[in-house]
Amino acid sequence: MAKPAHFSTKDRILGAAEELFALHGFAGTSLRQVTSQADVNIAAVNYHFGSKENLVNEVFRRRMDEMTSARLSQLDSARREHPGELRPVLAAFVEPALAMAQDRQTGGAFVRVIARAYAEKNDNLRKFLSDHYGHVLRDFGKAISACVPELSKEELYWRLDFLAGSLTYAMADFGLIKRPAGVTEAAHRAHAAQELIHFAEAGFRASAASSASTTSLSTP
């Protein structure tokens, strides 16, 4: 009977931390605030996470693992069922992320946490994400490259980086186009996904830039 309570405590801590990180940022949130909101003591945080840094990482892990699994499963299907086609590959990158953002219970606060991660310089978090999820961008980079082999590696990753940024913006729903009255959230997100995929496809297929670029590439 102890196990359900054990996991419930961990989930409460993660939920409280996610909400507070979204509101105040990582540096602006104290463990005391987290324990107060989760209605636990500091010993519970130390037991489950060991440190605030690990707590930040685990907030990302519980959302990123699910989204990564959905992305890679859809990518595998795209490669198998639509070999050489770019749009299904882009859909595998875009659609699971927007689906998560659509779920206000599981994704709303996390989208704001992602925005905080962009705004705040957190080298430990960046390393954690690179170590655990960098392979996802590399897998998509390989799949996209197979569809547009004329792109250099640098051009490919510039454009993939721009797609990731655009996707984050779309997830946050900060754009000029708001959901029209009478349109469901699911329909609005699906429309956003299709527009972004169409835009990204044109970007990846655009003529290659000058090969004289001197920008160095740091592969994610």
Q: What is the pLDDT of residues 19-29, one digit of tens each?
A: 999 999 999 99
pLDDT the model gives residue 108: 74
How far is Cα 41 from Cα 50, in angstroms, rounded to an integer?
A: 13
How far is Cα 34 from Cα 74, in angstroms, rounded to an integer?
A: 35
Contact residues for 188 (Cβ-Cβ < 8 A; gap 6+)? 179, 180
- Is residue 176's pLDDT more than 70? no
How many degrees, rounded to 5, is the angle at CA 178 between CA 66 and CA 70?
15
This prediction has a pTM of 0.83
Contact 119, 209 (CB under 8 A): no
- Is residue 37's pLDDT more than 80? yes
User: Looking at 7-16, 45-54, 71-80, 201-210, which range is the least confident one?
Assistant: 201-210
pLDDT band at 5 (very low <50, low <70, confident <90, very high): very low
Q: 136 — phi, psi (to 5°)? A: -65, -45
How far is Cα 204 from Cα 89, in angstroms, rounded to an integer?
A: 12
Q: Which residue has the higher pLDDT, 103 or 197?
A: 197
Q: What is the pLDDT of residues 199-208, one digit of tens each?
A: 999 999 997 5
